[in-house]
């Protein structure tokens, strides 16, 4: 379709592991060698654009004799070529990041290749949507070609989903090795014995016959694309990892069984393995009174043994600092340990001294051992300088100033930058990403992966605040965007949960290792007790013997 004049736009909605990067490489190779044109490759960010150019594009240009003569290496002396811009006879190739609008507003483009469009920022600065800007560049060409490729993200905001909807929706149909009926491979037809990924097989939706991994390659060879809607210049292709010759059904099931333990990872599986949008839980509102009934019989004076790591999140207001302390356990389970309000004007030192003391807290576990707050994140959005002053020199105690970044797709805890005269580390926190995780956890309503445990002493106000925001789809500069909107004024319980989770992500502890170590020390203790008992017995015996 890329060389078919009747098609203008090609949409590729895909999973990972299906060779999308190679497809883009092949398109570039074709246009450089056979039909020289101005080409623009759009990657989500400038950094990704550079990496892609160096690691994916350059090796192909070097290795292919048909291309090596035409595109000179950036290193050679007479070369005008750089990592982001390359010339070749009759055309040129630019690589840009969707996050830098200025680089989009220049030269005309005939071949526009947009990779991973669902990871683009929702608008490039103030100038509007990056894809729209790039498409404008192609308007002067009657024979332009636009490719949009991506693994999809969330239903309603996914760009690739929106593009797919305008396409003729082609699926790859493969014949059953038993009845020869052609069909689209779908996750729901994959079967396995409980807990045994190695038993995975595909059940033909026509004859029910067992299709095994070994049949896959032949089926792929005999397959064909079939459109499900009428073609109108937009060809859409959808494919999932179920088809991938570089993956197996067994490994997909193994991944699925693993992510099932972490509800926040299920979204990634649905997007990247199945190549489908996450329908998610937008419509569901979490009711605070339902959470209230979930309080358990523990509080900060004695906390459950399952807690392996403890972190704190702080929110600074004019007359108080609110702190939430949360413990993390295996399988993404967490325990709210304490919610405290430290009163005092935050422009003055007193309340900061109280915070300093508070963060030295140690909590007693049911087995008698003590656990400290391992890491703390403090929002610097208000009383910025006081927060910096407080965090200065506390890196050893892992107390960090953070700054919320609310655009989608950010890491929960990004890489720290140094700010101010004192060069205090400041950590960017992807608040929307963190809220996504917390919301997915709040949906889990019985002790199982992702479950949040609440202590006996948090009140109704706490739960009201925790559920004080709702996910909504909004329109911004012609593009849909998912945002968290406050439905109540006060939301510190949610914010401090976000900051505590950020602190957990700063640490990135290996909880399984910690749990194993804990188990070993307990075993050693009991062993020691046993051996010392045994030694006593031996001694007593020998005493008895000698007495005899
Ligand atoms: Zn069949």
Query: What pLDDT digit, counting tens, does each position of 398-424 carry?
Result: 999 999 987 666 789 999 999 988 899
Tokens standing for 488?
């109540």
Query: With bands split at pLDDT 50, 70 and 90, how would you rate the model's confidence at 539?
Result: very low
- From ligand 1's centre to the CA of 293, what distance in Å? 50
Please tell me the predicted confidence (pLDDT) of residue 543. Answer: 39
Please tell me the predicted confidence (pLDDT) of residue 408. Answer: 62
Task: Give the whole-angstrom CA distance, residue 438 versus residue 124.
Answer: 28
Task: Give the whole-angstrom CA distance, residue 450 versus residue 448.
Answer: 6
Task: Give the whole-angstrom CA distance, residue 507 versus residue 328.
Answer: 12
Q: At a CB cut-off of 8 Å and minimum separation 6, what does 359 contact?
A: 312, 323, 373, 376, 397, 399
Task: Give the whole-angstrom CA distance, residue 114 versus residue 43.
Answer: 6
Please tell me the predicted confidence (pLDDT) of residue 545. Answer: 36
CA-to-CA separations, 1 to 235, 237, 318, 320, in angstroms, rounded: 7, 10, 61, 62
What SS3 string covers 322-346? EEEEEEECCCCCEEEEEEEEEECCC
Instruction: Sort residue 409 into left (φ over 0), alpha (ψ -120 to 50) or beta.
Output: left
- From ligand 1's centre to the CA of 313, what distance in Å? 56
- From ligand 1's centre to the CA of 208, what distance in Å? 6
Q: At what angle do helices 263-272 and 431-442 cross, to 10 degrees?
A: 110
- From ligand 1's centre to the CA of 239, what distance in Å? 20
CB 481 within 8 A of CB 157: yes
- From ligand 1's centre to the CA of 201, what distance in Å? 13
For residue 375, the surrounding DSSP H or E stretch is strand 370-379
Task: Give the whole-angstrom CA distance, residue 11 versus residue 160.
Answer: 7
- Among 326, 385, 376, 383, residue whose Cα is nearest residue 355: 376
- From ligand 1's centre to the CA of 17, what distance in Å? 26
Query: What pLDDT digit, counting tens, does each position of 271-329 carry?
Result: 899 998 877 654 456 677 888 889 999 999 999 999 999 999 999 999 999 999 999 99
- From ligand 1's centre to the CA of 274, what distance in Å? 22
Any long-range contacts for 266-270 (C-beta under 8 Å, 24+ apart)? 266/440, 267/154, 267/436, 267/440
Instruction: Kindly tell me the burial class for residue 160, based on how many C-beta atoms sit within 10 Å of its own C-beta (0-12, 13-18, 19 or more).
Output: buried
Report DSSP state, residue 451: P
Task: Give the whole-angstrom CA distance, residue 392 versus residue 407.
Answer: 28
- From ligand 1's centre to the CA of 202, what distance in Å? 10
Query: What pLDDT digit, counting tens, does each position of 30-41 carry?
Result: 999 999 999 999
Tokens standing for 375?
């890491």
Task: Give the whole-angstrom CA distance, residue 240 versus residue 285.
Answer: 31
Q: At what angle do helices 263-272 and 249-259 cross, to 10 degrees?
A: 150
Strands 170-175 and 234-239, sheet pairing: parallel
Task: Give the whole-angstrom CA distance, residue 356 versus residue 321.
Answer: 11
- From ligand 1's centre to the CA of 180, what distance in Å? 6
- Among 445, 443, 468, residue whose Cα is nearest residue 293: 445
CB 468 within 8 A of CB 343: no
- From ligand 1's centre to the CA of 302, what distance in Å? 59
- From ligand 1's centre to the CA of 206, what distance in Å? 5
> Angle at Cα 390 formed by Cα 374 and Cα 337, nearest 5°?
35
Mean pLDDT, all residues of the chain:
87
Please tell me the predicted confidence (pLDDT) of residue 231. Answer: 79
CB 482 within 8 A of CB 473: yes
Q: At a CB cut-off of 8 Å and minimum separation 6, what does 202 contact?
A: 185, 189, 190, 191, 210, 211, 212, 242, 249
Spell out where 270-364 has E strands.
309-316, 320-328, 334-343, 362-364
Any long-range contacts for 185-191 (C-beta under 8 Å, 24+ apart)? 185/240, 185/242, 185/243, 186/242, 187/240, 187/242, 187/274, 190/242, 190/249, 190/252, 190/253
Q: Please list the residues that pair with 191 across neighbouring strands.
A: 201
Q: At a CB cut-off of 8 Å and minimum separation 6, what does 419 contact?
A: 388, 401, 425, 426
CB 436 within 8 A of CB 410: no
Q: Please list the residues that pair with 452 across neighbouring strands.
A: 334
- Among 205, 199, 216, residue whose Cα is nearest residue 179: 205
- From ligand 1's centre to the CA of 176, what distance in Å? 5
- From ligand 1's centre to the CA of 205, what distance in Å? 7
- From ligand 1's centre to the CA of 187, what distance in Å? 16
CB 346 within 8 A of CB 355: no
Query: What pLDDT digit, counting tens, does each position of 164-199 carry?
Result: 999 999 999 999 999 999 999 999 999 999 889 999
293-317 core/surface letters (b: 16 or more CB in 10 A; e: else): eebeebebeebbebbbbbbbbbbbe
Query: With bands split at pLDDT 50, 70 and 90, how would you rate the model's confidence at 266?
Result: confident
Tokens standing for 390?
């407080």
Q: At what angle do helices 431-442 and 492-507 cross, to 10 degrees?
A: 100
> Angle at Cα 272 formed by Cα 436 and Cα 448, nearest 5°?
50
Task: Give the whole-angstrom CA distance, residue 548 versus residue 545.
Answer: 5
Query: What pLDDT digit, counting tens, does each position of 221-252 carry?
Result: 999 999 999 878 999 999 999 999 999 999 99
Task: Give the whole-angstrom CA distance, residue 318 versus residue 113.
Answer: 50
- From ligand 1's centre to the CA of 178, what distance in Å? 5
Using the Cα atoms of residue 258, residue 262, residue 263 and residue 267 in order, give the sign of their dihedral. negative
- From ligand 1's centre to the CA of 350, what distance in Å? 75
Query: With bands split at pLDDT 50, 70 and 90, how would you rate the model's confidence at 436?
Result: confident
Task: Give the whole-angstrom CA distance, residue 164 versus residue 402.
Answer: 38
- From ligand 1's centre to the CA of 204, what distance in Å? 5
- From ligand 1's centre to the CA of 355, what distance in Å? 67
- From ligand 1's centre to the CA of 222, what distance in Å? 14
Please tell me the predicted confidence (pLDDT) of residue 474. Answer: 64
Query: With bands split at pLDDT 50, 70 and 90, how would you rate the model's confidence at 124?
Result: very low
- From ligand 1's centre to the CA of 86, what distance in Å? 50
Q: At a CB cut-off of 8 Å and minimum separation 6, what does 368 contact?
A: none
- From ligand 1's centre to the CA of 210, what distance in Å? 8
- From ligand 1's centre to the CA of 15, what distance in Å? 25
Please tell me the predicted confidence (pLDDT) of residue 538. Answer: 43
Query: What pLDDT digit, counting tens, does each position of 450-497 carry?
Result: 899 999 999 999 999 998 887 766 655 555 666 777 777 789 999 999
- From ligand 1's centre to the CA of 203, what distance in Å? 8
Question: Higher-confidence residue: 71 or 487?
Answer: 71
């Amino acid at each position: 379709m890329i060389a078919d004049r009747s098609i203008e736009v090609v949409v590729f909605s895909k999973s990972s592991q299906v060779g999308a990067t190679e497809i883009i490489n092949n398109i570039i190779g074709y246009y450089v060698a056979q039909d020289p044109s101005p080409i623009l490759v759009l990657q989500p960010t400038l950094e990704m654009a550079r990496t892609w150019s160096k690691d994916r594009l350059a090796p192909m240009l070097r290795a292919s004799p048909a291309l090596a003569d035409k595109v000179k290496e950036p290193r050679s002396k007479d070369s005008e070529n750089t990592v982001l811009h390359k010339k070749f006879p009759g055309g040129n190739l630019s690589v840009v990041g969707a996050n830098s609008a200025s680089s989009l507003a220049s030269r005309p483009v005939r071949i526009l290749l947009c990779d991973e469009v669902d990871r683009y920022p929702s608008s490039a600065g103030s100038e509007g949507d990056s894809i729209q800007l790039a498409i404008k560049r192609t308007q002067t060409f009657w024979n332009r070609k636009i490719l949009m490729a991506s693994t999809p993200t969330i239903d309603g905001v996914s760009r690739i989903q929106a593009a797919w909807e305008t396409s003729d929706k082609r699926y790859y149909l493969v014949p059953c090795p038993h009845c020869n009926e052609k069909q689209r491979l779908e996750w729901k037809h994959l079967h396995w014995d409980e807990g045994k990924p190695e038993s995975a097989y595909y059940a033909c939706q026509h004859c029910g016959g067992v299709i095994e991994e070994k049949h896959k390659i032949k089926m792929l060879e005999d397959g064909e694309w079939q459109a499900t809607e009428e073609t109108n210049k937009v060809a859409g292709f959808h494919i999932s990892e179920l088809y991938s010759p570089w993956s197996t059904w067994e490994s997909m099931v193994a991944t699925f069984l693993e992510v099932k333990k972490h509800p926040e990872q299920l979204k990634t599986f649905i997007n990247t393995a199945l190549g489908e949008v996450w329908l998610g839980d937008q419509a569901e509102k979490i009711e605070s009174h339902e959470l209230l009934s979930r309080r358990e019989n523990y509080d900060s004076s004695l906390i459950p043994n399952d807690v392996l790591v403890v972190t704190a999140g702080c929110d600074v207001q004019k007359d108080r600092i609110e702190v939430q302390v949360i413990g993390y356990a295996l399988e993404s389970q967490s325990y709210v340990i304490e919610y405290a309000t430290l009163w005092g004007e935050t422009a003055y030192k007193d309340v900061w001294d109280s915070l300093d003391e508070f963060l030295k807290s140690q909590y007693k576990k049911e087995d008698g051992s003590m656990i400290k707050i391992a890491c703390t994140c403090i929002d610097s959005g208000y009383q910025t300088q006081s927060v910096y002053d407080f965090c200065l020199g506390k890196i050893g105690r892992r107390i960090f100033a953070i700054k919320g970044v609310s655009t989608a797709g950010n890491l929960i805890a990004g890489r720290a930058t140094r700010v101010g005269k004192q060069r205090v580390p400041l950590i960017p926190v992807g608040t929307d990403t963190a809220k996504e995780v917390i919301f997915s956890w709040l949906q889990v309503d019985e002790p199982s992966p992702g479950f949040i445990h609440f202590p006996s002493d948090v009140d109704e106000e706490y739960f009201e605040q925790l559920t004080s925001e709702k996910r909504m789809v909004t329109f911004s500069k012609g593009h849909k965007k998912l945002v968290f909107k406050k439905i109540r004024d006060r939301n510190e319980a949610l914010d401090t949960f976000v900051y505590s989770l950020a602190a957990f992500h700063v640490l990135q502890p290996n909880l399984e290792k910690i749990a194993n170590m804990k188990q070993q020390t307990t075993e050693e203790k009991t062993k020691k007790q046993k051996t010392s008992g045994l030694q006593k017995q031996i001694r007593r015996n020998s005493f008895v013997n000698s007495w005899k």
